Amino acid sequence: MASTILLIAESFPLAEEFDAVAGRWAAQSKPEACSARAVYTSLDRTSCLELIALEDISQLVFLEDHFAQSWSLIGVHLAGDFQRQLLRFVEAPKNTLGDLPATPYIQLRHVEVRPPVYSDYLAWRERTIFNVVRNAPEVEVFLAYHSVVSSEPGVMFLSGFSCPVETYTGVFSSDHYKDIVAQAGNQYITGGERGLYTKIYRAV
């Protein structure tokens, strides 16, 4: 089952240090406080991503040494500081057996939803986005989280897949799904369609 609390950290290596940063960060030991940890690299080779699964938000206080170790390992090889956000699990149209997806690829899909229509949005996404995902074998895992602490607040979908990237992205590039995105932009997303971003990563 998906992790109740998910901590996402993203780092932005200097271009010439990208592979070294990815390797060092992936080799860092899993903190005792967390139930699972995984490191990924973005397909566009602009960033590395760390996912940490926690059972309870109180465990966050035990990660200070881990953060310090990450800084020591790769900090001087980054173009910018670590960006972290804490998320709480909401629901899973397609759950994962473990705390984190075991697929070779993941995608983060983020939207900031206008608070007055949040309840309506939850019902809308069940009959639109989730309906598409449940009927798409290319999407193996699809988890819905909501931010607890983040500089980019809102809804975060964590999607996992194993098929070729082009096959997976085809699920979300159909005319039907483009209409769903347009509906979201018009009715629910802060800033319209510009409030949506996606990024694909490969497991290290």
Per domain, the residue ranges of the chain are: 5-203
Average pLDDT over residues 146-169: 96
Q: Please choose, from the candidates 56, 127, 126, 50, the residue with its C-alpha nearest in 3D space to the C-alpha of residue 85.
A: 50
CB 126 within 8 A of CB 175: no
CB 113 within 8 A of CB 155: yes
Partners of 12 in beta bridges: 80
Is the pLDDT score of 193 beyond 70?
no
Side-chain-side CA neighbours of residue 107 (13 Å):
23
Asked if CATH classification 3.55.40.20 holds for the domain at 5-203, the reply, yes or no, is no
Tell me the whole-structure pTM to 2 decimals. Answer: 0.94
* Segment 32-55, tens digit of pLDDT: 999 999 999 999 999 999 999 999
Other C-beta atoms closer than 10 Å to the C-beta of 184 total 21
Torsion angle of alpha carbons 155, 156, 160, 163, nearest 10°? 80
* CA end-to-end distance (rounded Å), the chain: 22
Name the more confident of 140 and 193.
Answer: 140
* Segment 6-25, tens digit of pLDDT: 999 999 999 999 999 999 99
Q: Which amino acid belongs to residue 155?
A: V
Distance CA 154, CA 147 (A): 5
